[in-house]
Amino acid sequence: MSETTPTREPGAPGPRKRVNRREQILYTAAEAFAAQGFHNTSLADIAAMLDITPAGVLHHFGSKTGLLTAVLELRDARSPAPEGAGLLRHLVTTAERNAAAPGTTQLYAVLSAESATDRHPAQGWFRNRYTVLRREIAAAVLERLEPEQREKASVPGPHGHTPAHDAAAAVIAAMDGLQVQWLLEPEAVDMAAVTNLVVDAVVARLSTRATRSGTEG
């Protein structure tokens, strides 16, 4: 029989619930990483918060890096993104959900910034995440365009990137930047509204650009 104890998702409102020991470690680590960063948090710190030994943490995750990976995958596993144009609406929904979970939002903001440092264990995870997001958002943007516009937005530019790829990078940059602004001053930023505005703006930009190009041609 698994051990259970009351806990809650970091930053999430609502009643406390009972989860198994592995989940308890996961949530506690998420809170610690968000507050202190990965390098400044030891397995001993996490274990002490739970009144268990570091070996008890390693029993479930194998290593500190394994624990970090599990923490990073926690949010995505709970809300898988749809394919196609529905992804763009999902991005807005994600921004709404992030505003209701400040602990998780802080975790991603802290760890994504940390991952840019040399030899950070989460660097590969975030690099892959951004690669996949750019590809999937670019595809979703293309689905919002008319066939002729879609063709023009798929033509690589001087640096080898398509306009749709650049649009995807812009959406991701806006969402990540919004998280930092919101964490510093929640009342000043509506993440969902601004995300929706940015998505509509990049789609409109590609539509206008393609139409203008066709007219000039």
Instruction: Indicate the domain borders of the chain.
Output: 4-68, 81-216
Sequence-ordered list of residues with C-beta below 8 angstroms from that of 118, at least 6 positions apart, any chain: none
pLDDT of residue 210: 56
**Domain 4-68, second-level architecture:** Orthogonal Bundle (1.10)
> What's the token pair of residue 92?
């807005």
The answer to whether 99 touches 191, Cβ cutoff 8 Å, is: yes
pLDDT at residue 88, as a whole number: 96
| Helical (H) or strand (E) element with 174 | helix 163-184
E strands, the chain, in order: 4-7, 17-20
Which residues are CB-neighbours of 71 under 8 A, at least 6 positions away? 26, 29, 30, 33, 107
Which of 191, 45, 168 has its CA nearest to residue 104?
Answer: 191
Ranges of residues in the chain with a pLDDT under 70 are 1-19, 79, 209-217
> What is the rounded distance in angstroms from the CA atom of residue 157 to the CA atom of residue 56?
52
Choose among 198, 214, 84, 202: nearest CA to 149.
214
Helix (H, G, I), strand (E, B) or coil at 201: helix
Contacts 24+ apart (CB under 8 A), 59-64: 60/21, 60/22, 60/25, 61/22, 61/25, 64/121
pLDDT value of position 19:
54
